Structure 1
Amino acid sequence: MHNQNASAAIINDGAAFTEEHALVSPLALYSEYQRMDIELRAPEEMPMSHWHGQVEVNVPFDGDVEYIINGEIIHLKQGHITMFWACVPHRLSDPCHCRRMAIFNLPMHLFLSWPINRELINHVTHGMVVQSNFSQQISEFEIRRWQQELQHKNEQMKQLTMDEIGLMIKRFSLSGWTHLLVNHTSKTHQNGVSKHAQFYVSQMLEYIAAHHDSTLTIQQIAEHVQLNQNYAIGIFQRVMQLTMKQYITAMRINHTRVLLSDSDKAILDIALTAGFNSSSRFYDTFKKYVGMTPLKYRKLCQEKQFL
């Protein structure tokens, strides 16, 4: 976003995407970084560290595995849930004897929207690696079912699956967790981001989560964290691998999908509740990101033959 417009840049979801250095469309980024992804497979050694903007959740089912996260060796225990914000450089260094492992990539906007322990959220967004105190909180059967249901043509079924995964994380928070890694490093890694950047982006994420249903400007977000607007834009995109606008759109669209599926509110009311400033803006943005109109989405959710 150009500097002369930054102070007045209201984050309206249907506006044209004009970021100067974007090499892919916002829809491609939405598809890659803002959808929930679940794998169930044999863990494989990674030759190099990588990073991404989602919350990563790993569950090895039949043996321990070894990761290197932020340069530290971390052991993921069989049957336990391990969770971390994947903007820190990480790689699976040794699959050991494990042959079946679940890997979740959870969009940050979903993670922040779930009713889970604030301390857990703070630990994850500040770079800690946390592991459940108890094993066997989830089964391979449930993982396979969720994989299938996320591909279901019924949108209400997809939403139910996401709700169940949210409840898995809530159970994790209620059952207690142990810190495997506390992020003390302040170095900037070649394949990751600094603790400094993580800290400021975590503050921006909290502010956006609290205000995504109202008119938001980049200026407001930058002022909240006391950063220059262009610097705030840059570190947000570097950490999250998508722009603030794309991230806020994801939060708003997720909110409207739930309301369309589970309530009988008028579509205009839903649009305004989620932070869209007009029904036309909402219709255009929803169709662009979901692939159908809000009305069609609601009808699909309500038609029992799609179950």
Structure 2
Amino acid sequence: MFEWVEKISFSEASPLTAQAQDNKFGFHRKRPEVMAHSHWHGHIEINYLFDCSADYLINGQEISVPEGRMIIFWASIPHQMTACHGDGEIVNIYIPLQAFLTWMLPGEFVSQLLHGEVMVSDSLYVCDRQLTQIWEADIASQEPLLASQVINEIRNRIRRMAIEHYSTFNLAHRSGHGVDKPVFGGLNHIQTMLRYIADHYDQKITIENVAMSTGLHKNYAMKLFNRVMKVSIKQYINQLRLQHAQALLIDTENPVLNIALEAGFGSVSRFYDIFQREFNMSPLEFRRRVG
């Protein structure tokens, strides 16, 4: 379920060649490099700037990020590093949008990102560089449980930033996108469907239920969801159920049957099939390995 790539590959002649990688996590440490062209992809992108600063062109707007900052933005917006200063390094982290939206971050923070804003930390913690080094080593180990732990720690780092003070470059207003005008058409429908799924995934719900929550025809809702989230409604519901089940397997001693039903799978056989397919191990094996 947690598939990592070292970097998101682009073709300057066709920036959308990265689209097939939108459901993968990415991590890349490098010297800052000026980009010849803007590109875009479907991730939430995090840039750590260690001992260097950089200038960006994001959605046609110029911004300068000081040394020792972390920025977060939705990379579906055309973006380009136009200048870099210093002998430091940059760490790029790519989070699939569908995963990011399950992290239950503060609503205002998420809304600003989806409306084209760039969020910047006021400073980095002393431990941030070491933390990214730990993440890099854990990912390189190709151990699924460590990869899962890395994702949890990245989520918690962003959550800390979201609840502490951060700044923005006010790009949404500079580019003409107000708080009620997302940069991608249909996002209001997507957010409504995501809220409905988050409230009902542990119950018996259908694609028709999800579409009705935002007043769309089933076929259009499915097409829109796939286009933005790069995953089907059914797959997304199963992702939430699997995350719920994993938490119960780790934190409780409940029988697998109870966990399957509580997470919304409906039957233990269906739970086993989906869990095995996603994690290449049974729920009981997962519990033993993390116990």
Shift in Å at residue 239 of structure 1? 2.0
Percentage identity across paired residues of the two chains: 31
Residues 174 and 186 of structure 1, relative CA distance in 2, 3 Å threshold: closer
Matching residue of 2:135 = 146
Residues 159 and 291 of structure 1, relative CA distance in 2, 3 Å threshold: same
RMSD: 2.9
Distance 2:258 2:37 in 1: 48
Residues 133 and 175, structure 1, Cα contact 8 Å, conserved in 2: no
Residues 114 and 183, structure 2, Cα contact 8 Å, conserved in 1: no
Matching residue of 2:252 = 263
Residues 155 and 300, structure 1, Cα contact 8 Å, conserved in 2: no
Matching residue of 2:111 = 122
Q: What secondary structure sits across from 1:95 in the alignment?
A: strand
Distance 2:55 2:146 in 1: 35
Matching residue of 2:202 = 213
Query: Which of the residues 211, 214, 234 maps onto 1:245?
Result: 234
Distance 2:283 2:225 in 1: 29
Matching residue of 2:270 = 281
Matching residue of 2:84 = 95
Residues 115 and 183, structure 2, Cα contact 8 Å, conserved in 1: no
Of 145-154 and 264-273, more deviation after overlay is shown by: 145-154
Residues 38 and 78, structure 2, Cα contact 8 Å, conserved in 1: yes
Shift in Å at residue 202 of structure 1? 2.9
CA deviation map 1:153-206 (0-9, x unaligned) = 76554444333222211220222122224435689xxxxx95323333233333
Greater length-normalized contact order (CA 8 Å, ≥ 6 residues apart): 1
Distance 1:181 1:198 in 2: 20
Shift in Å at residue 81 of structure 1? 1.8
TM-score of the aligned structures, taking structure 2 as reference length: 0.79
- Is residue 2:161 matched to residue 1:202? no
Distance 1:276 1:186 in 2: 44
Shift in Å at residue 98 of structure 1? 5.5
Residues 51 and 86, structure 2, Cα contact 8 Å, conserved in 1: yes
Matching residue of 2:65 = 76
Matching residue of 2:282 = 293
Distance 1:244 1:49 in 2: 31
Show the 5 A alignment for 1:150-161.
150-152=139-141, 156-161=145-150
TM-score of the aligned structures, taking structure 1 as reference length: 0.75
Residues 117 and 168, structure 2, Cα contact 8 Å, conserved in 1: yes
- Is residue 2:43 matched to residue 1:44? no
Q: Which runs of 5+ in 2 are unaligned?
A: 1-19
Q: What secondary structure sits across from 2:152 in the alignment?
A: helix
Shift in Å at residue 293 of structure 1? 1.2
| Residue identity matched to 1:275 | G
Distance 1:199 1:160 in 2: 31
| Residue identity matched to 2:286 | Y
CA deviation map 1:188-247 (0-9, x unaligned) = xxxxx9532333323333332332222232222222222233222222222222322233
Q: Which runs of 5+ in 1 are unaligned?
A: 1-30, 188-192, 303-307
- Is residue 2:218 matched to residue 1:229? yes
Residues 98 and 231, structure 2, Cα contact 8 Å, conserved in 1: no
Aligned length, in residue pairs: 268
CA deviation map 1:19-65 (0-9, x unaligned) = xxxxxxxxxxxx95445432222233333433333321111112112
Shift in Å at residue 288 of structure 1? 0.9
Residues 171 and 235 of structure 1, relative CA distance in 2, 3 Å threshold: same
| Residue identity matched to 1:219 | E
Residues 145 and 233 of structure 1, relative CA distance in 2, 3 Å threshold: same
